Structure 1
Amino acid sequence: MRNSFLRWALFLLLAVAITTAFFYRDRLDAASLQQWLEGAGLAAPLVFMAIYALGTVLFLPGSVMTLAGGALFGPVLGTFYNLTGATIGAALAFLIARYLASEWVEEKTGGRLKRLKEGVEKEGWRFVAFVRLVPLFPFNLLNYALGLTRIRFWPYVIASYLCMLPGAIAYTYLGYVGREAAAGGEGLVQKALLALALLAVVAFLPRIIGRLRLGPTIDIDQLQQRLQQEEKPLLLDVRTAEDYASGHIAGALNIPLEELEARAGELASWQESPIAIICTTDRRSKKAAQLLGKEGFADVHIVVGGMSQWQKQSLPVEAGTAPAESNKEN
């Protein structure tokens, strides 16, 4: 009873704090932070990191803090203070969520959501590393969401710190260049070009990481074996609807390649589960696999030879369209 009361009290306190921070968020900028830190003296870096950590817990925009850190402390110390403050805040949000609701979520989660949760937990620190390098979800919300899983705390913290480093460097340096531009510092062109280069590297990370997350290709014989297993993969047919209707493998889900990016959300429950992609040509299958890899799907395989090879071996096919919902459950 006492433990339940403490949880509700903490929840209400957190809700009030987040609501208050939301209404006063416009007052958070580099100028305001500088005024607050001027009176802190040697403790200014500690005060800044504490403010950053608290802002992370209260859903304040981290981009503002990161740019301010670069403007106030420079590219090197600013990166360290930004990264440390963000990681402390992420750790606090993780622990708060775990204390408040992890047991309740464990009891209530079922179906496709449970499969997604178990997939995330199976990936562990690797999933944390991926979502830090490729920010698919809002940073502040993700910290709380990961606290509801059984991912271990220290691997979460270490993976977060290391894998947020590229973004921290880029945006901290951007804040530093902004300050230099306002002050009329020297070498602005070179500094601006370096800032753009860093941002370009961060922008290309999703594509690079997506390719690294692709699983090995499988042939038709391997596909048949996997489809006979109890935990079979999702067979994703990325041909056109007309080609799919003319003949497809039983249980395959059809999402044409041209629609896949817009409809990737329909596959959310398979985010951490195996997906086998089949098409008429391997080139289209590869494009689909790379797209899903960029979107965060962890176990994507290309079926070499695709439907051409399946039909060449005179294997059974079904004609007509199948309800999307029933296919997603298979």
Structure 2
Amino acid sequence: MKPVVWGVLSTAKIGVQHVIPAMLSSPLVELRAIASRTLPPAQEAARSLGIAQAYGSYEELLADPAIEAVYNPLPNHLHVPLTLQAAAAGKHVLCEKPVALSAAEAETLQTASARVHIEEAFMVRHHPQWRRARELVRAGRIGELRAVQVFFSYFNDDPGNIRNQPGIGGGALYDIGCYAVLAGRYLFESEPRRAVSLVDRDPQLGTDRLTSALLDFGAGRQLNFTVSTQSVRFQRVQVVGTLCRIELFIPFNAARGEQMHLALDEGGLLDGSSVTVETLPAADQYRLQVEAFCRRVRDGASPQAGGLEDAVAQARVIDALWLSERTGRWEAIA
């Protein structure tokens, strides 16, 4: 397969530390250029990462005729505007999550998605631990899936950090709660019907620093989660069935190229001594994500998951959770 020629919009940490190294390791990727709002940061990133071309504006990169696809890890409020610009320039777009700050905003990408591939970058979908968990659920290994429980937290109260700026899409729900929502949708393989949330906002920053939610998937199936930007660093996913429980120990920030583990617990002993641990193949979820995107660019196939319709459905859930914060009630998911 001919490598896909990529450009990266911005020198964001997730790109420089995770996605770009994954791109550079793949034979399916030719990473041609990186852009920033000014030239010096782009030049520094290009030098340190071995990227051929640096651009001092996003528009310059998008005007490069050699670039076929772009990775967009810009702050959340710039996801849709720059994705639209990239699509107008004929570039396919892998956009960081959340793809938009509302379902209505995500829907503005629909016309563009008919011309180019636009996908939301949930790398966890590609990791063997998540695929194995869903395989076990599908096979009936845990009986009937009843509940998915997610906890995801870290501590960051820096007012200068984009995650702590509410006007540009900061806060726990947008940053990490989206992973929890995806976990339920991915494992139940359906959409929730209604949702209720409880939100605690930082009085100075204005962002949600602790958000919990309950999502009703119908037929007695539930997702509950808590996410926080001002709690001790921790993450875990529990997948609970009528016969067995699956536990994912590092569900979201799986180290690149390392083996992950999941636990199977049939509930024999409450002290955990009856738990069996399964080791998954070593993997780089970012590389797997980018390579899957490259293959779709080359073969023109629609994604089985992660396409724009999926991103709109994801945004509808988050919309309902914000509405529930305001009303204090269960809200239907449109």
- Bin for the TM-score computed over the shorter chain: under 0.3
Which has the higher relative contact order, 1 or 2, with Cα contacts under 8 A spaced 6 or more apart?
2
TM-score by length of 1: 0.25
Normalized per residue, the structure richer in strand is 2
Q: Determine which structure has more spread, i.e. the larger CA radius of gyration.
A: 1
Normalized per residue, the structure richer in helix is 1
